[in-house]
Amino acid sequence: MILPIVTYGDPILRKKCNNVKEITENIIILINDMFDTLKNTGGVGLSANQVNIPLNIFIVNYEYNDDFISKVFINPNIIEYSDDKQISKEGCLSFPSLYDDVSRSSSIKIEYQDIDFNNKVDHYSGDIARIIQHEYDHLKGVLFIDKINPLKRKIISSKLKSILKKKIHTNYLIK
């Protein structure tokens, strides 16, 4: 089922999410619905709080050249960030039509539970590391606009006000 995506201004996007205690049928349904929603949007990552569920879950579905990942991260914790950074344009499904440059570590090490609730530790670099950091931030109540240069944030403030004014709840049912 395709779920509505909350947009900037919704308080759930600023809340820290709760850990998942066990994998239940409802968690499996949520994850499947998140993948359906992400596929429908054409996005590359989605966190549970973006679909109004304050749980420490995000998904990634990314394919570009030789990079491919389609994975669930439950109760994630980034335990290592590389010192080298990369600046690249980012957007977010909760910020329709807004993109800007964000600096992120070029590689990370993350521990998490998979869909079977097994503990995992993986290393990622490049675009996939960027996507994971973006989604991980969502679970902590941090938004990509928080990482934008303050001067640029001032420049995009009219776009942010427009999103707030519309209070759009995007459902992406129409393509």
| Residue 113: strand pairing partners | 74, 119
| Residue tagged active-site, from 22, 25, 90, 135 | 135
**Residue 127 DSSP SS3:** helix
- DSSP line for 130-168: HHHHHHHHHHTT--GGGGS-HHHHHHTHHHHHHHHHHT-
Among 33, 43, 25, residue whose Cα is nearest residue 4? 33
> What DSSP string describes 6-43?
P-TT-GGGGSPPBPP-S--HHHHHHHHHHHHHHHHHT-
Instruction: Name which of 77, 123, 136, 126 is nearest 106 in CA terms.
Output: 126
Active site residue 135: yes
d(CA 106, CA 127) in angstroms, rounded, equals 8
- Considering all CA atoms of the chain, what is the largest pairwise distance in Å, rounded to the nearest integer? 46
Active site residues: 135
